[in-house]
Amino acid sequence: MTRVPLEQKVLSENDRAAAELREQFRASGTLCLNIIGSPGCGKTALLEKTLAAMDPYARVAVLTGDIQTDADAQRLGRYGFPARQITTGGACHLDARMIVRSLSGWLTGDVDLLFIENVGNLVCPTSYDLGEHAKIVVLSAAEGEEKPLKYPGIFYKSELMVLSKVDLLPYVPFDRELAIRNARATNPAIEVVEVSATTGQGIDGWLQWIARRRSAAGLRVS
């Protein structure tokens, strides 16, 4: 009898669930973005600034993953948009079945834009398709510019790198040009936006990227 490696079986089951999600997003006209980055890189702060800039009547929702607590969902819920926490209880990533369970009976067909904030990690989330239209990797100026070379998988699979906390550039030994070169050495097609959630710098460019991505997916731009 042929034995199927456990990892292959898990990913196969995940891919089936992801395909169901992708069809659900297609049918509802929902753009789904999977945001991935290290702990503390600024994922939640980026989403806070993003939600604050949205039309209050925009059909936007957020799923946010963490090993413990619902702190991020509480932070994001203050902006008036639906936000739901996925607590993994130890798992270092979100998988498609978690997304299916979290979306079941919640906002079905009523969302134009769904952000998924993955668990803080540059390795585990890379392998798991969540049915998203695009993976987005966040790299902060407080981290090393070698991250794209140390963790090439997520940079290779991401359409966009958000270089966050750029307000810190005058104060930290971070070479932004080298970081971008390293990201493009891994993925020549990766786009880059530079933002600061503290000052608001670059948020317009980030929102414009989202609008272009909706258009590229053939979805209505809110």
pLDDT in tens, 167-197: 999 999 999 999 999 999 999 999 999 999 9
Residue range 128-167, pLDDT digits in tens: 999 999 999 999 999 999 999 999 999 999 999 999 999 9
Q: How many domains, in total, are found in the chain?
A: 1
Whole-angstrom Cα distance, residue 136 to residue 161?
Answer: 6
Task: Decide if 222 is inside a domain.
Answer: no
Averaged confidence pLDDT in the chain: 93
Structure tokens of 162? 């958000």
Percent of the chain with pLDDT over 70: 94
- Percent over 90 (pLDDT), the chain: 85
Residue 67, helix vs strand vs coil: coil
> Domain for residue 219, yes or no?
no
pLDDT at 107: 74
In a domain, 153, yes or no: yes
Residue 207 is assigned to a structural domain of this protein? yes
Check if the beta carbon of residue 144 is closer than 8 Å to that of residue 176.
Answer: no
CATH number of the domain bearing residue 158 = 3.40.50.300
Distance of CA 202 to the CA centre of its chain: 17
Q: Is the pLDDT of residue 205 over 70?
A: yes
Q: What would you measure as the largest C-alpha separation in the chain, in angstroms?
A: 61
For residues 36-52, average pLDDT: 98
159 found inside a domain = yes
Query: What's the whole-number mean pLDDT along residues 25-43?
Result: 96
Residue 19: its pLDDT value, please? 97
Domain span at residue 185 reads 6-214
Residue 4's pLDDT is what?
Answer: 54
Residue 51 lies in a domain: yes
Q: What is the pLDDT of residue 5?
A: 61
- pLDDT exceeds 50 at position 1: no
**3-class state of residue 203 by DSSP:** helix
Is residue 108 scored above 90 in pLDDT? no
What pLDDT score was predicted for residue 90? 86
Q: How many CB atoms lie within 10 A of CB 4?
A: 9
Domain assignment present for residue 221? The answer is no
Which of 110, 129, 130 is closest to 27 using CA atoms?
Answer: 110
Q: How many CA atoms lie within 13 A of 192 on its CB side?
A: 19
Residue 144, both tokens: 């090393």
Q: Could you tell me how many residues make up the chain?
A: 222
Residue 1 domain-assigned (yes or no): no
